[in-house]
Amino acid sequence: MSFLGIDLGTSGLRALLVDDAGAPIGATERHYEAAHPKSGWSEQDPADWIAALEGAVAVLKAAHPEFAALKGVGIAGHMHGATLLDAEDRVIRPCILWNDTRSHTEAAVLDATERVRDLSGNIVFPGFTAPKLEWVRTHEPQNFERIAKVLLPAAYLNLYLTGDHVADMSDSAGTSWLDVGRREWSGYLLEKGHMRRDQMPRLVEGSARAGTLRADLARGWGVGSDVAVAGGAGDNAAAACGIGTMDEGQGFVSLGTSGVILAARRGYSPAPATAVHTFCHAVPDRWYQMGVMLSATDSLNWLSRITGEKPAALTTALGEDLAAPGGVRFLPYLSGERTPHNDAAIRGAFTGLGADTRREDLTRAVLEGVAFGLRDSFEALNATGAKLESLIAIGGGTGSRYWLKLIATVLGVPLRLPAAGEFGAALGAARLGICAATGADPKTVMTMPDLGTAIAADANQRSAYDDAFTRFRAAYPAIKAAQ
């Protein structure tokens, strides 16, 4: 048997084919763009996701005979995106993405509404789905009137695969319409967001069977007639499944476009005042909490565009030995910030620039600013009772050993990298497909990978970085006042 995991990302789709033991057979990627019609806007055409999926399947089918034995599919998707469908399942307008901040006014109104935080377990952030629909209701009433269903990106691919409107708990927890503790749509939250229950997809657990691959797709893909499609997951929940982050004390730091520190939780203990997200996990009876910063590797990519140097070249120039905190400070708020500030309007800044400032100083400041932003999230998670004595590190930014040493020192905990092989959201999605197709217990499937040597905090630099973090925190209100 083989199983397909799809990681639907903001900039591209990754497809991973695994065997029934979860070992990789083959993988491929397809890329697409996001549109930014106005400052703070971020949109995508869902047709690009379908084209990427079919392109990836064609490659895997041609390269790997094992594809014909496909038994299960799982989708992991970037969260919060508002894909609006009419009564014929036609897309009404481009999907408004997670990093779109146009609905900050609507988010503030919903967030201030009685019981909304209590039921949803979270602050209503501008990137969440409910305020996006309030924005559409106000600014595009003709589109709002046509809405028959609202689907998240992963659920839209599930619709394409199965013909059914179905979504999982972990993804749906980021809408501000879900009662996250009860794992069901909240009539009260829907009412306050001017939505109806019939506009919502059917809910399933991420590891459960959501449906069966459509017969026409099965014929076109050259697979059998009974291919299970799992409920799937939001991208971070899927990444947690891929590296076995399922229980108390287990967590990871993700250095991707955004920066995430995630802790698995046995129970539901929301703490919205901390700006920590509390969401359902992709498996039953589990939740997770995470702190999120909006610009992690995106900050380094921005510096790369400004300087004309590749990100890897910028970080390589720093070497591997951790230096003391630099005199230049960077606030990584290029697209606003979630944890701990919940501030869509704040923007980034450099301070401490001088005539002697070099490119290496700017690079180090960017890496330090992201590390300090992650510590904001780490301390917010600590305030909820999450105890993380080490973290697995994943994401593209882990290619910089300097950055990893810096983050370990700023957080004061060791970081572990998977020793080898596949991990992350695509593998987590494939594992969900295994559970959906075979009925396997997620506990036996969502195992932790072999880990490499721990990257320890630099004890000699720890105190200096504590002091630098204090100065970093003091800079936020000053920069906000100046802006």
Kindly name the residue from 111, 171, 235, 458 that is annotated as catalytic: 235
Measure the CA–CA gap between 458 and 412, rounded to whole angstroms: 9
Q: Which of 188, 287, 254, 248 is nearest to 385 (CA)?
A: 248
Q: What is the DSSP string of 6-40?
A: EEE-SSEEEEEEEETTS-EEEEEEEE---B-SSTT
Q: Are 12 and 28 in contact (CB under 8 A)?
A: no
Dihedral in degrees, nearest 10, Cα atoms 214, 157, 14, 401: -150
CB 52 within 8 A of CB 75: no
If phi > 0 it is left, if psi is from -120 to 50 it is alpha, else beta; for residue 6 that is beta
CA-based R_g, the chain, Å: 22
235 is an active site residue: yes
What is the rounded CA–CA span in Å between residue 199 and residue 436? Answer: 25
What span, in angstroms and rounded, lies between the C-alpha atoms of 388 and 374? Answer: 14
Contact 142, 248 (CB under 8 A): no
Helix/strand/coil percentages in the chain, nearest 5: 40, 20, 40
**Distance (Å, rounded) from C-alpha 333 to C-alpha 321?**
27
Kindly list the catalytic residues. 235
